[in-house]
Amino acid sequence: MIGVFDSGLGGLTVLRALVERFPHVSFTYLGDHAHVPYGNRPSDEVVSLTQTGVEALFERGCKLVLLGCNTATAVAARRLQQTWLPQTPWRGSHNVLGIVAPTVEAATQTPWAVTAPQYPQKYNTDLVAVFGTTRTVASGVYPEEIRKRCPKVEVVQQVCAQLASAIEAEAPDAELDALVHEAVDGVLAQTGGAPPHRAILGCTHFPLVEPLFRRHLPPFTRMLSQPVVVADSFEDYLARRPHYVAERPSVRTLTLLTSGDPGDVSSRAHIFWPHAPAFTKL
Ligand code: DGL
């Protein structure tokens, strides 16, 4: 069974892509609604909350947990993989993955394992815009990992501090549109008006407002769709490590857990996934 962890409902955009891509694989999703949003929290809190969530999924039989959240990935993935997991009884048999690596691979057209520039580079002078939460942007993980592989790419980051909460609160379209417009203007202010060649919507909530980003960015800006990119990368990962999905049950299970109020969370999940199963209490 595969675990998917998110601070709240945004990770459902990733889970949905995985469920559609892997029809025989069982998934357990955990949304930490008791502590959402993570995006404006201090780093240590994000690490500790993410670790608690991963432990809960390991204890429920998930040997592989995907952090379906940019903030948790940007702040906690490396620490959990390199410092925490090796000291636990799960070392060697379990793993934690994030969603930054596949996104960087797609943005740079370079495998994650390659950490130095490879020449000639197809997109070596591009301008890339990263839209994310306060904590994801502060981590600097996207510019750092992109520049390592493509040093001539210019990366501009834009904090969208209110957008994830507004999407989750089902704010009116006009309000969401104004927030997206403001974010795009923030990028243009940094680039002297030059629109980006590519845009990374670096928050799992943002695919829901992709048409609004589309409206405010010119047609030549290519948008990276994180759920698709993550599903592609996960397919490749599982093909190389089939033991994580070796025990195929005759009926696939799909379990949605929350640390919050299951009734309230289930009633709001439809905006991320119209026919999502109901949440149960962690
Ligand atoms: N899911 C988070 C992400 O992708 C955003 C929501 C939050 O701030 O908790 O960054």
Question: Rounded mean pLDDT of 4-33?
Answer: 96
- pLDDT exceeds cutoff 70 at 249: no
Q: For residue 270, report the distance from its CA to the centre of ligand 1, in Å.
A: 17
36 lines ligand 1 (CB under 6 A): yes
227 lines ligand 1 (CB under 6 A): no
Residue 118's pLDDT is: 80
- Which residues neighbour 205 within 8 Å (Cβ) at sequence distance 6 or greater? 9, 10, 13, 163, 164, 167, 168
154-167 pLDDT tens trace: 999 999 999 999 99
Asked whether the domain spanning 102-225 has the same topology as the one spanning 2-98+228-281, the reply is yes
Proportion of the chain above pLDDT 70, given as a percent = 97
212 lines ligand 1 (CB under 6 A): no
CATH architecture of the domain 102-225 equals 3-Layer(aba) Sandwich (3.40)
How much of the chain is helix, strand and coil, in % rounded to 5?
50, 15, 35
Task: Choose which CATH entry (3.40.50.1860, 3.40.718.10, 1.10.1060.10, 3.90.1150.10) describes domain 2-98+228-281.
Answer: 3.40.50.1860
Residues 38, 72 contacting (CB under 8 angstroms): yes
Residue 251's pLDDT is: 82
Mean pLDDT (the chain) is 94
Domain locations along the chain: 2-98+228-281, 102-225
Q: How far apart are CA 127 and CA 223, in angstroms?
A: 12
Question: Among 13, 41, 131, 133, which is best to mutate for testing ligand 1, by the most ligand atoms less than 8 A from CB?
Answer: 133
Atom of ligand 1 nearest to the CA of 6: 1
Catalytic residue among 62, 150, 160, 203: 203
Atom of ligand 1 nearest to the CA of 132: 10
Q: 246 falls in which pLDDT band (50, 70, 90)?
A: confident
Residue 259's pLDDT is: 98
Residues 217, 209 contacting (CB under 8 angstroms): no
| pTM score, whole prediction | 0.94
Residue located nearest, by CA, to atom 2 of ligand 1: 69
38 lines ligand 1 (CB under 6 A): yes
Residue with tokens 């950490």: 115
215-243 pLDDT tens trace: 999 999 999 989 999 999 999 999 999 88
Proportion of the chain above pLDDT 90, given as a percent = 86
Q: Is 62 a catalytic residue?
A: no
Q: Is 160 a catalytic residue?
A: no
Task: Look at residues 195, 230, 201 and name the one whose alpha carbon lies nearest to residue 2.
Answer: 230
Q: For residue 203, report the distance from its CA to the centre of ligand 1, in Å.
A: 6
Residues 135, 46 contacting (CB under 8 angstroms): yes
100-145 pLDDT tens trace: 999 999 999 888 988 888 876 665 678 999 999 999 999 999 999 9
Atom of ligand 1 nearest to the CA of 136: 10
Torsion sign (Cα): 79, 224, 22, 13: positive
In SS3 terms, 136-177 reads as HHHHCHHHHHHHHHCCCCEEEEEECCCHHHHHHCCCCHHHHH
